[in-house]
Amino acid sequence: MTGAAELRSRTREFLAAHPPATTGRSEFLGARFDAGLAWVHYPAGLGGLDAARSLQAVVDAELEAAGAPDNDPRRIGIGLGMAAPTILAYGTEEQKRRFLRPLWIGEEVWCQLFSEPGAGSDLAALGTRAVRDGADGDWVVNGQKVWTSSAHIARWAILIARTDPEAPKHRGITYFLCDMTDPGVEVRPLRQITGEAEFNEVFLSDVRIPDARRLGPVGEGWKVAQTTLMNERVSIGGMRLPREGGMIGPVARTWRERPELRTHDLHQRLLTLWVEAEVARLTGERLRQQLAAGQPGPEGSGMKLGFARLNQEISGLEVELRGEEGLLYDDWTMRRPELVDFTGRDAGYRYLRSKGNSIEGGTSEVLLNIVAERVLGLPAEPRNDKDVPWKDLAR
Active-site option among 232, 257, 260, 278: 232
Most confident of 23-37, 131-145, 194-208: 23-37
Identify the pLDDT of residue 267. 95
Cα–Cα separations (whole angstroms), residue 112 to 83, 236, 319: 8, 14, 32
Percent of the chain whose pLDDT exceeds 70: 92
Closest residue by Cα to residue 326 from 313, 337, 334, 317? 317
**Distance in angstroms (rounded) separating the CA atoms of residues 189 and 200:** 4
Does the domain at 226-375 match CATH 1.20.140.10? Answer given as yes
| Mean pLDDT to the nearest integer, 174-197 | 94
DSSP for residue 378: P
Q: Which pLDDT belongs to residue 240?
A: 67
pTM confidence score:
0.87
383 falls in which pLDDT band (50, 70, 90)?
confident
pLDDT of residue 303: 82
Q: How confident is the model at residue 334 (pLDDT cuts 50, 70, 90)?
A: low
- For residue 18, is it left (φ>0), alpha (ψ between -120 and 50) or beta? beta
SS3 22: coil
* Residue 293, pLDDT above cutoff 60: no
- 338 in active site: no
Q: Is there a contact between 162 and 128 (Cβ–Cβ < 8 Å)? A: yes
Can you give the residue ranges of every domain in the chain?
1-70, 110-219, 226-375
**Do the domains 226-375 and 110-219 match in fold?**
no
More confident: 198 or 180 = 180
pLDDT value of position 36: 97
Write out pLDDT tens, residues 201-255: 999 999 999 999 999 999 999 999 999 988 776 665 556 678 888 889 999 999 9
Whether 156 and 83 have beta carbons less than 8 Å apart is answered as yes
**Total count of residues recorded for the chain:** 395
CATH class (in words) of the domain with range 110-219: mainly beta
